[in-house]
Amino acid sequence: MFLTDEQQAILNGSKGETMAKVMKTLVMYGETFGADKMVPVTSEYNHLVTSFGLKMMTPVFDLMQQLIDAGAVSGQKFSVDPRPLDKNVPANFLQNIIFNVAMYAKQDSYEKQLNELGLMNEDAFTCACYLDQVGNKPKKGDVLSWAESSAVVYANSVLGARCNRNSGIMDIMGSIAGFVPHFGLLTDEGRKASWIIKVETTKKPEAQLLGSAIGMKVMEDVPYITGMEKWLGTELNDDNCAYLKDFGAATASNGAVGLYHIAGLTPEAQELGESLVLENAQVYVIDDAELQRVQDNYPVIWKNPDAKPKLCFVGCPHMSLQQLINWTEAVEEGLKASGNKKVQIPTVFTTAPAVKKAFEQTEYAERLKATGVILSYICPLMYMNNPLAGKMPVITCSNKLRTYTTARYYTEAQILEKITKGGN
């Protein structure tokens, strides 16, 4: 890989041992993937995946401290994934002890580290940093050093930015150095599709189910998706962006997708059309039966598969303002139809702190509160990352949450019915 004189000097130790290690990490990363050079990070902000003060991550906190002590801090401020705890989210006595003592005992000290490393502001804890209210929305063509699979796939696919599926820690290394190795999704060739996905469903496919099916099929490849125009049209409006946010999160967690193109809708597909598809691309047809097959094959690992759900999470990745409004209206209608006044299963909607504040300025906040739904900024995944969660029947319409935890997946319509009508 070609290095400039400045980059080579840093690698040789001109800026100290720690910066030399940062550079060595990036060079090895690039060489593994055949990078030809380093390119500057051009986005205004970075985004980090590591927001949680989990004890198991002590080696990461030690590394972060090495960076801080050596002054190897980025000039680029960053947002970071959601906080793992919120006292408003239901938790019993034992869970609270496990959360605060056994698991997230390092949360405060880690947040201090994040501030020293360049956290944007106290509200910058969300996986959906690109939402307007949060303010970390890269421009088309920007080169990023982000991690967080759902944010990376959104930035690449919906915003047209360029970012590899960087791991946590690697995200901050690129930002500190100010450049990242040029390979994969940073290159024109790496953004071409080796799969054509033909969507032939008779109704608008559930975003997180469609994303799951595609992710499990194509793994880390780039899919070019056709047949969605009649369901989504050709405009990246609020509803479509929310749909693509949830769809992408499922492709990235159920598989390893970092970029998708949707014919006629996403920016590069609009610009370049089918020229984005590689010769000999494989074809995957998705119809109603295929989506049903995918959903039916999700394992149910509750101790009692027939248990009554004790908690419901909606909002992984974090909900947009419009989604909160839409869900508020849907829950109200569902309750009215079923003759109930409050949700029948404790339910938590999760969103970015800045979106939560904006939502609380609307009339919908009181209306949602009246339904009994709790609004929080936490990461449901981190909430469920404990041994007690396995014994707790949690339901969700997030395929990402299903993938990483014992939560059971249902479509949004199924979730709505369960929380408003009750029953198993």
Residues binding other proteins (CB under 8 A): 21, 24-25, 28-29, 32-33, 49-50, 54-60, 63, 66, 103, 147-149, 152, 164-171, 184, 215, 219-220, 252-256, 299, 301, 385-387, 403-404, 406
**Least distance from other proteins to the Cβ atom of residue 204, Å:** 26
DSSP string, 348-375: EEEE-HHHHHHHHTSTHHHHHHHHT-EE
**Least distance from other proteins to the Cβ atom of residue 102, Å:** 8
If the CB atoms of residues 231 and 298 are measured against other proteins, the closer one turns out to be 298
Instruction: Give the tokens for residue 195.
Output: 């799969």
If the CB atoms of residues 183 and 349 are measured against other proteins, the closer one turns out to be 183
- Name the pairing type of β-strands 374-376 and 261-262: unpaired
Reference 200, options 235, 231, 246, 223; nearest CA is 231
**Least distance from other proteins to the Cβ atom of residue 25, Å:** 5
Whether a cis peptide bond, with omega within 30° of 0, leads into 353 is no
Instruction: Give the tokens for residue 254.
Output: 């159920």
DSSP string, 213-257: HHHHHHTTSPEEEES-HHHHTT---HHHHHHHHHHHHHHHHHS--
**Least distance from other proteins to the Cβ atom of residue 131, Å:** 19
Partners of 284 in the beta sheet? 197
Reference 245, options 136, 151, 129; nearest CA is 151
**Least distance from other proteins to the Cβ atom of residue 215, Å:** 8
Cα separation values, 276 from 63, 171, 189, 273, Å: 40, 27, 9, 6
If the CB atoms of residues 170 and 276 are measured against other proteins, the closer one turns out to be 170
Report the alpha-carbon distance of residue 346 to residue 89 in Å, rounded.
9
**Least distance from other proteins to the Cβ atom of residue 168, Å:** 4
**Least distance from other proteins to the Cβ atom of residue 393, Å:** 14
Partners of 347 in the beta sheet? 312
If the CB atoms of residues 23 and 269 are measured against other proteins, the closer one turns out to be 23
If the CB atoms of residues 59 and 75 are measured against other proteins, the closer one turns out to be 59
- What DSSP element (H or E) covers 170? helix 170-177
Neighbours of 42 (CB within 10 A): 15
If the CB atoms of residues 41 and 152 are measured against other proteins, the closer one turns out to be 152
If the CB atoms of residues 184 and 205 are measured against other proteins, the closer one turns out to be 184
If the CB atoms of residues 32 and 92 are measured against other proteins, the closer one turns out to be 32
**Least distance from other proteins to the Cβ atom of residue 146, Å:** 8
CB 191 within 8 Å of CB 259: yes
Report the alpha-carbon distance of residue 403 to residue 281 in Å, rounded.
27
